Amino acid sequence: MSIKILALPGSLRSNSSSNVVLNSLQHLVAPDVSIYVYDSIGMLPHFDDSDPAPAAVVDFRKQLKEADAILICTPEYAFGVPGSLKNALDWTVSSGEFVDKPVALITASSNGEYGHAALLLILKAISAKVTDETSLLIRFVRSKIDKQGEITDSIVKDQLRDVLAALVKNV
Ligand SMILES: Cc1cc2nc3c(=O)[nH]c(=O)nc-3n(C[C@H](O)[C@H](O)[C@H](O)COP(=O)(O)O)c2cc1C
């Protein structure tokens, strides 16, 4: 069985540490697992509960629904969840794409603990299936990647492998 993971980046900066981590995950997955990055978070309109939902939101919800699992990789901004990611998740509260969906949360930041904790609460609110094994906080992330966009910290690499394995196990 092939497994499709949809990755949601929390940073819109193409060279953000989170995107470095996301790219590196592509090299750590088993051959039967594919990671697709949802790259339109910044294009989603601000949440307003409009019905029918805007086309971009309909497409976002469809991609979430079709994925076997979701992987969020994000920095912490101003002790919280980056606004664009929070907005995207708000669009799913009423439609329920996250209910019982296996989710991995990777926070890659300088500190990150507040944003990480806030996101775990949000994921609980939308009934996502997150476990301790699929939750990872990478502190001081910039000291763990190099200029070429490679992860240099072997412990982090092992942790990422473990998170991916646990996520796949939860499918
Ligand atoms: C607008 C902004 C706010 C930030 N706030 C925090 C913060 O509250 N806590 C933290 O650990 N890092 C914070 N950072 C630093 C990021 O964690 C740091 O840039 C990290 O390397 C990941 O961010 P990036 O993915 O955008 O590169 C902030 C960065 C920006 C750009």
pLDDT in tens, the chain (171 residues): 799 999 999 999 988 999 999 999 998 999 999 999 999 999 999 999 899 999 999 999 999 999 999 999 999 999 999 999 999 999 999 999 999 999 999 999 999 999 999 999 999 999 999 999 999 999 999 999 998 889 999 999 999 999 999 999 999
The minimum-distance atom of ligand 1 relative to the CA of 80 is 8
Q: What is the pTM of this model?
A: 0.96
- H or E stretch covering 125: helix 113-125
The minimum-distance atom of ligand 1 relative to the CA of 13 is 26
Q: What is the pLDDT of residue 14?
A: 83
Best substitution site from 24, 110, 119 to test ligand 1's pocket, by max atoms within 8 Å of Cβ? 110
Q: Tell me the one-letter amino acid at 1.
A: M
- Neighbour-count burial for 11-22, b at 16+ CB within 10 Å, e otherwise: beeeebbbbbbb
| Torsion-angle region of 147 (φ positive above 0: left; ψ -120 to 50: alpha; else: beta) | alpha
- H or E stretch covering 19: helix 17-25
**Using CA atoms, how far apart are residues 167 and 71, in angstroms rounded to an integer?**
8
Tell me which residue has its CA closest to atom 14 in ligand 1. 77
Tell me which residue has its CA closest to atom 6 in ligand 1. 77
Q: What is the pLDDT of residue 127?
A: 98
Tell me which residue has its CA closest to atom 25 in ligand 1. 16
Q: What is the pLDDT of residue 1?
A: 76
Tell me which residue has its CA closest to atom 15 in ligand 1. 110
Contacts of residue 124, defined as CB under 8 A and 6 or more positions apart, other chains included, come to: 130
Ligand 1 centroid vs 3 CA: distance in angstroms?
Answer: 31
Q: What is the pLDDT of residue 52?
A: 95
State the first-to-last Cα distance of the chain, in angstroms, to the nearest integer: 11
Q: What is the pLDDT of residue 66?
A: 98
Q: What is the pLDDT of residue 44?
A: 98
Ligand 1 centroid vs 98 CA: distance in angstroms?
Answer: 26
Residue recorded with tokens 């794409």:
97
Contacts of residue 113, defined as CB under 8 A and 6 or more positions apart, other chains included, come to: 76, 137, 139
